[in-house]
Amino acid sequence: MTRTHCPYCALQCGTRLEVSPQGLTVSPDEDFPVNAGRLCMKGWTAPRVLSAPDRLTSPLMRQRPGAQQRPVPWETALDRVGAELRRIVSAHGPDAVAVFGGGGLTNEKAYTLGKFARVALGTSQIDYNGRFCMSSAAAAGSAAFGLDRGLPFPVTDLASAEVVLLAGANVAETMPPLMQHLAGADLIVVDPRRSATAEGAALHLSPAPGTDLALALGLLHVAVVDGHVDHGYVAQRTTGFDEAWRRAAEWWPERTERVTGVPVADQYAAVRMLAAAKRRYVLTGRGAEQHSKGTDTVSSYINLALALGMPGREGSGYGCLTGQGNGQGGREHGQKADQLPGYRRITDPAAREHVAGVWGVDPADLPGAGPSGYELLDSLGRPGGPRALLVFGSNPVVSAPAAGEITARLASLDLLVVADFVPSETARMADVVLPVTQWAEEDGTMTNLEGRVLRRRRAIDPPPGVRTDLWVLRELAGRLGQPAHRFPDDPGEVFAELRRASQGGAADYSGIEPRNLDDQAEPVHWPFPAGGSSTPRLFLERFAHEDGRARFRAVAHRDAAELPDGAYPLHATTGRVLAQYQSGAQTRRVPESVEADGEAFVEVHPDTARRSGLTAGGLARVVSRRGATVARVRTVASLRTDTVFLPFHFPDAGRANLITNPALDPVSRMPEFKVCSVRLEPLGSGAATGSGAL
Amino acid sequence: MSRIVIVGNGPAGHRLAELLRTRAPRAAVTVLGAEAEPAYNRVLLPSVISGKLSPEQTYLTGHDSGTVTVRRGAAVTGIDREQRTVRTADGLLHPYDELVLATGARCFLPPLPGLTGAGGGPADGVVALRTLADCRRLEDLLTRAGSVVVLGGGVLGLEVARALSDRGHGVDVVHMGPHVMERQLDAPAGKTLAGVLERLGIRIHTGRAAASWTGGRLVLDDGSGLPADLVVVSAGVQPNTELARAAGLSVGRGVVVDDHMRTSDPRIHALGDCAEHAGLVPGLIAPAWEQAETLAEALTGGHRPYTATRTVTRLKARGVDLAVIGDGNHALPGAEVVTLADPARGQYARLALQDERVVGAILLGFPSSVAAVSQLYDAGAPTPVDRLALLAGRAVAGRADAPGDLPDEAVVCRCNNVTKRALVAGWRGGARTPGALARATRASTGCGGCAGAVDGICTWLNATREAADEAGDALCADAVPAGEAHAASPAGAGEAFVPAAAPRQEEQPLHELLAR
């Protein structure tokens, strides 16, 4: 029996793996407190991906553009990649090669990928799909508290909460085992849809898509007018309340109601529920964050929590529900465009000095900050943009906004290299595909949504022909002239180096000994400095800003980047279903998931469907200015009549991201996945305006 | 560098200056405000009166920096259109390339004996509420006032009356019209509203005008009187148009402007409560801010005509939920009108539709439907077919099934996609407790939300077997049909988790089992 963790979301549920003649079986770990014996369908069926019928077990290569991908020996594939990278770098400079990582990679992989980009390639062009995940919450959390850790408290603390406000988080579907910790709380759910989570809530606030920021400002307004501000806390532990209030003062309840569609009475009810509880939390998810104003929206929820005196007190607080399995660790160790390991800024001379010292290179040789995820993808193959891209643990053909255009960008590259374990939609476009190990076949560490560092353990051997990502990076680094010792492929060795690199940084792992991660050990939450101890709860004494105080941010509401008009009269919002995970590359290969939800669909209010000439069960084209996607119509009476919903897990013509708007948040550079304007057409009518037509 | 002078530091002038600060970084913007106070948000004054906000908490974001200069206590006394300057009371001249009049409006004070003091302003003991200074004066007067009368039962008068009654003052409202808010409400709505207010301690006297105020007593036009230590006048406002008139600009009720907020002089613009657009002076903050957007565009070379904003009037009064959306009294031929009335409970709704679109609505006592109706109105979007559900404000939930009636295909455990059929199969396979069913099917091992339902189905299956045993059946094959053709749940059932059907009387409804 091997104790490890589920390969999917940021809960990182504990699992026990047994190898039997029938294959690997998984059962939930009763002793791991985050899931305490619970597991959702995705976790139960995760072994299916290990033996997916189309599992990649040999490198694939395309001899020339347009040719078929064919199996080749590893040497051939790696030599080709090495040679082409050398050619492109020498002809066009290091920034002509870009790297795109993922929030599902282990800490060791994320760390090594960042180091590979900066040292072996010398490129500044690296970012990852976490940019599409919690970057807005990270920016807002850092601004408010001086430190970004998804949950600054153990997830089990939620179990004693009386009231929890979930802003744009459908945890009943995206993180089912978390629900046991929320079972005792009255939930206030903010979601345009009556989601599974909203269904069970004590209060459901349903703002029009793109108006969450106005709602949060309105809630702060009510908190002030209704006399719920914790003045002592605000005076002693925060700064900036007055400026934040001046913005919220513009959002009196009736105006908030008109803009958001949330009744005045419900605004009061929500604030009173939070104010009356002793133990209460505000948690945000992608619904609040994936907007061109996501950072400000999260800041306004943090402002509300600060006004009520919640953060930094045991039994209450603010947190972000990180999405991807290693979304937390993935953003700490250097695959983000502007960061070095330990959550250090790449523009900080001291940080460069420290990390360059660990890497044995000259700090002056480290590149500076590069473009953010979407900007990087959008620049591929353009004049002055990268001509080669290495993708690890991501599937941007499905997950990037305006996916039609991004697909065209990928197609315009001189060289696309994808390391993956299944032929994802992005891998299918690649010139070279490198088959790598997955969860149960590898060792490493992950950091879950509560900043808890966990050990991923190898239970079985990978199929012959499959290598680890670390091995691939070492081999490529060697072909780029790097000494072998600089890129170890042993995860234990990499973790030891990562600890040194993170020492003194915000996300300090330097004190974490491998034995701390043993089964019986106490939980390990960073920061865990050398000679120090785990930090399960942050901010109890002081916040991480120099003055120890949390900062209110004065934020103003603004409209979504695109508003409905005559040609595109409806809001479209995108999200997730329980049975599928992210771009679906893994779960679409699991029969149980396919049976539950196996094809693209669009939820539409029955009246809206009728007016658009759609019938339940029929196909619709959902058309935006970026393109069109095809989806099966589901009529949902609880939906707003002005809004349709599409999950984004599905491929090809059913990609929801064919229609999404790449308007970016000015701070976090998060694209606006959660709202764009569309029209509906029964399939077969109207002219195709995008790449989604069947 | 273009010089833009804004006369008036109220919400309209303030918003324009704020927009220009970011959109016209090369313009020099000067705001001349007559009041010594920083710009504040007039909408919040009822909250100041009711004591929920301090006067300072109504201040708007300061922007007296960089390209924007704010001069407070600088009353403008004249405009020289030839020289393109404005003169302030201190004698200074302010040259402009573009001039904006945001002079607002002032309260109308009825010329009645006793109400006006020396100099034409309100007498001691009389307040006409418009400014923060008026609020402070009211606060001061309230400390020695026993009885308060509000003159005028329009929106602002009723808001003030409610703010005062919220603080424990008995309040009389004297209103000339046939019912309160007659500009916005039809008679049934007005009467129902009066009833709601009476229950909150506000006495309404309609069809009556004040005649005089003397010796703590307000005499009405029928000779009757009301004790009134304090009189709050809310009898409408007058746009401040004197500057414009003196400068020779075209003035009707307000300063006349076109769709780009331009007056009859192309270098002079007006917006907010002083401006008349298409014959109307809206007098609300939403149109004023909308006009500020239009003017900011016009002054920075853009083109975004102002189209009279759709109005939604909301009475900001604690315990009263009233919204008037568009033309509440709308009665054009061909309009579909839906009404609901329960005057005893203070509820009245009137919804007027044309081509399925809301053209007007009065919603009193329907707190959860205002949001949806006003958003449909603002968007010009068609309303849902079920008008009553729209007015009720909440989608009516389908009724839940008892375990026996649940179709086999119904998904009981969403986390693991376990249907009732799978649970029955598990039970037939020997899993006779909820724990055993969980192990056999994975149901309830995810979020745990269906644990009650799994429990209920298990109990039902066990009870059915006992009943079958008592009846002498070997196995409950009849009672627990497996694989029988049930109608598949309709599309969209993923959301409607429990398909609707009438529950059997004797069985516990599943929604109770599902309840946490």
* Residue B198 belongs to some domain of the structure: yes
pLDDT tens track for A589-628? 999 999 999 999 999 999 999 999 999 999 999 999 999 9
Nearest-Cα distance to chain B for A42, in Å, is 8
- In chain B, residues with a C-beta closer than 8 Å to the C-beta of A260 are 371
Which residue out of A580, A641, A645 would a mutagenesis test of the B interface target, given it has the greatest number of B Cβ atoms within 10 Å?
A641
Q: What is the CATH number of the domain that holds B410?
A: 1.10.10.1100
What does the DSSP assignment read for A324-379?
STTHHHHTTTT-STTEETTTEETT-HHHHHHHHHHHTS-GGGS------HHHHHHH
Decide if A41 and B415 are in contact by the 8 Å CB cutoff: yes
Peptide bond before residue B305 is cis, with ω within 30 degrees of 0:
no
- Per-residue DSSP letter, A525: B
Calpha distance B294→B290 (Å, rounded): 6
Secondary structure (3-state) at A534: coil
pLDDT of residue A520: 76
Decide if A554 and B61 are in contact by the 8 Å CB cutoff: yes
Calpha distance B240→B254 (Å, rounded): 7
Let me know whether A436 and A484 are in one domain. Answer: yes
Calpha distance B280→B253 (Å, rounded): 8
Sign of the torsion angle spanned by Cα atoms A155, A156, A157, A158: positive
* Residue A264 belongs to some domain of the structure: yes
For A243, name the nearest residue in chain B, comparing CA atoms only: B61
Let me know whether A31 and A75 are in one domain. Answer: no
Which residue out of B44, B374, B415, B439 would a mutagenesis test of the A interface target, given it has the greatest number of A Cβ atoms within 10 Å?
B415
Phi, psi of A617 (to 5 degrees): 90, -15
- In chain A, residues with a C-beta closer than 8 Å to the C-beta of B321 are 264-265
CB B107 within 8 A of CB B130: yes
Calpha distance A584→A574 (Å, rounded): 14
Calpha distance A399→A424 (Å, rounded): 11
Let me know whether B415 and B469 are in one domain. Answer: yes
Calpha distance B255→B320 (Å, rounded): 35
Percentage of chain A exceeding pLDDT 70: 98
For B39, name the nearest residue in chain A, comparing CA atoms only: A246
Q: What is the CATH number of the domain that holds B142?
A: 3.50.50.60
Which residue out of A204, A217, A252, A677 would a mutagenesis test of the B interface target, given it has the greatest number of B Cβ atoms within 10 Å?
A252
What's the number of domains chain A is made of? 4
pLDDT of residue B488: 36
Between A491-502 and A349-359, two packed helices, what is the crossing angle to 10 degrees? 150
ipTM, interface predicted TM-score of the complex? 0.84
Decide if A637 and B496 are in contact by the 8 Å CB cutoff: yes
Decide if A258 and B447 are in contact by the 8 Å CB cutoff: no
CB A41 within 8 A of CB A592: yes
Calpha distance A80→B61 (Å, rounded): 60
Let me know whether A140 and A82 are in one domain. Answer: no
Q: What is the CATH number of the domain that holds A674?
A: 2.40.40.20
Let me know whether B471 and B374 are in one domain. Answer: no
pLDDT tens track for A324-353? 999 999 999 999 999 999 999 999 999 999
Biggest alpha carbon–alpha carbon distance for chain B: 108
Decide if B446 and A177 are in contact by the 8 Å CB cutoff: yes
Decide if A179 and B447 are in contact by the 8 Å CB cutoff: yes
- Per-residue DSSP letter, A637: T
Calpha distance B250→B91 (Å, rounded): 26
Let me know whether A511 and A601 are in one domain. Answer: no
- In chain A, residues with a C-beta closer than 8 Å to the C-beta of B417 are 41, 579, 592, 595-596
In angstroms, the Cα distances linking B129 to A90, B8, B122, B158 are 75, 18, 10, 12
- Residue B500 token pair: 């609707």
* Residue B308 belongs to some domain of the structure: no
Q: What is the CATH number of the domain that holds A17?
A: 2.20.25.90
CB A689 within 8 A of CB A680: no
Which of B189, B213, B235 finishes a domain?
Answer: B235
Let me know whether A299 and A270 are in one domain. Answer: yes
* Residue A538 belongs to some domain of the structure: no
pLDDT of residue B401: 66
Decide if B491 and A173 are in contact by the 8 Å CB cutoff: no
In angstroms, the Cα distances linking A629 to A290, A349, A400 are 20, 46, 14
CB B379 within 8 A of CB A564: yes
CB A357 within 8 A of CB A147: no
- Residue B32 token pair: 């001349």
* Residue B315 belongs to some domain of the structure: no
What's the number of domains chain B is made of? 4
Decide if B415 and A176 are in contact by the 8 Å CB cutoff: yes
Least CB–CB distance from A39: residue in B61, B446, B491: B446
- In chain B, residues with a C-beta closer than 8 Å to the C-beta of A265 are 321, 367-368
Calpha distance A102→A647 (Å, rounded): 20
- Per-residue DSSP letter, A126: E
CB A387 within 8 A of CB A414: yes
Calpha distance A644→A634 (Å, rounded): 10
Decide if A607 and B384 are in contact by the 8 Å CB cutoff: yes
Which residue out of A175, A204, A254 would a mutagenesis test of the B interface target, given it has the greatest number of B Cβ atoms within 10 Å?
A254
Let me know whether A271 and A416 are in one domain. Answer: no
Residue A190 touches partner B, C-beta closer than 8 Å: no
For A256, name the nearest residue in chain B, comparing CA atoms only: B371
Q: Which amino acid is at B346?
A: G
Let me know whether B219 and B261 are in one domain. Answer: no
Domain limits at A111? 60-132+327-517
Q: Would you say residue A358 has pLDDT above 80?
A: yes
Which of A268, A290, A325 finishes a domain?
Answer: A325
Calpha distance B249→B247 (Å, rounded): 6
Let me know whether B97 and B134 are in one domain. Answer: no
- Residue B506 token pair: 């004797």
* Residue B311 belongs to some domain of the structure: no
Decide if B494 and A634 are in contact by the 8 Å CB cutoff: yes
Calpha distance A166→A198 (Å, rounded): 9
Secondary structure (3-state) at A65: coil
The label of the residue with tokens 């010292």 reads A357
Domain limits at B224? 118-235
Sign of the torsion angle spanned by Cα atoms B272, B273, B277, B281: positive
Least CB–CB distance from A249: residue in B58, B445, B448: B58
Secondary structure (3-state) at A74: helix
Q: Which amino acid is at B189?
A: A
Q: What is the CATH number of the domain that holds A191?
A: 3.40.228.10
Nearest-Cα distance to chain B for A631, in Å, is 13
Let me know whether A81 and A105 are in one domain. Answer: yes
What does the DSSP assignment read for B399-462?
PPPPGGGS-TT-EEETTTTEEHHHHHHHHHTT--SHHHHHHHH-TTSSS-TTHHHHHHHHHHHH
- Residue B134 token pair: 């008026």
Residue A257 touches partner B, C-beta closer than 8 Å: yes
Note the Cα B131 to chain centre separation in Å: 22
Nearest-Cα distance to chain A for B181, in Å, is 18
Between A264-276 and A253-260, two packed helices, what is the crossing angle to 10 degrees? 110
pLDDT-wise least confident of A148-157, A446-455, B342-351, B457-466: B457-466
For A555, name the nearest residue in chain B, comparing CA atoms only: B61
Closest by CA to A492, choosing from A512, A472, A477, A475, is: A512
Pairing relationship of beta strands B76-80 and B85-88 according to DSSP bridges:
antiparallel
Let me know whether A282 and A171 are in one domain. Answer: yes
Let me know whether A383 and A509 are in one domain. Answer: yes
Decide if A638 and B395 are in contact by the 8 Å CB cutoff: yes
The label of the residue with tokens 């790097």 reads A482
Which of A289, A307, A325 finishes a domain?
Answer: A325
Give rounded-to-5 percent helix, strand, coil for chain A: 35, 20, 45
pLDDT of residue B329: 80
Calpha distance A32→A41 (Å, rounded): 18
Average pLDDT over chain A reads 96
- In chain A, residues with a C-beta closer than 8 Å to the C-beta of B312 are 258
Q: What is the arithmetic mean of pLDDT over A127-148?
A: 96
CB A435 within 8 A of CB A464: no
CB B54 within 8 A of CB B136: no
Note the Cα B103 to chain centre separation in Å: 25
The label of the residue with tokens 């949504």 reads A449
CB A649 within 8 A of CB A584: yes
Let me know whether B75 and B224 are in one domain. Answer: no
Let me know whether A355 and A444 are in one domain. Answer: yes
pLDDT in tens for each of the 516 residues of chain B?
799 999 999 999 999 999 999 999 899 999 999 999 999 999 999 999 999 999 999 999 877 678 999 999 999 999 999 999 999 999 999 999 999 999 999 999 999 999 998 888 899 999 999 999 999 999 999 998 889 999 999 999 999 999 999 999 999 999 999 999 999 999 999 999 999 999 999 999 999 999 999 989 999 999 999 999 999 999 999 999 999 999 999 999 999 999 999 999 999 999 999 999 999 998 889 999 999 999 999 999 988 899 877 889 999 999 999 999 998 887 778 889 999 999 999 999 999 999 999 999 999 999 989 999 999 999 999 998 889 889 887 644 444 567 888 889 899 998 999 999 999 999 999 999 999 999 999 999 999 889 989 999 999 999 988 877 776 654 444 444 443 333 333 333 333 333 333 333 333 443 443 333
Looking at the DSSP assignment, which residues form a beta bridge with residue B107?
B237
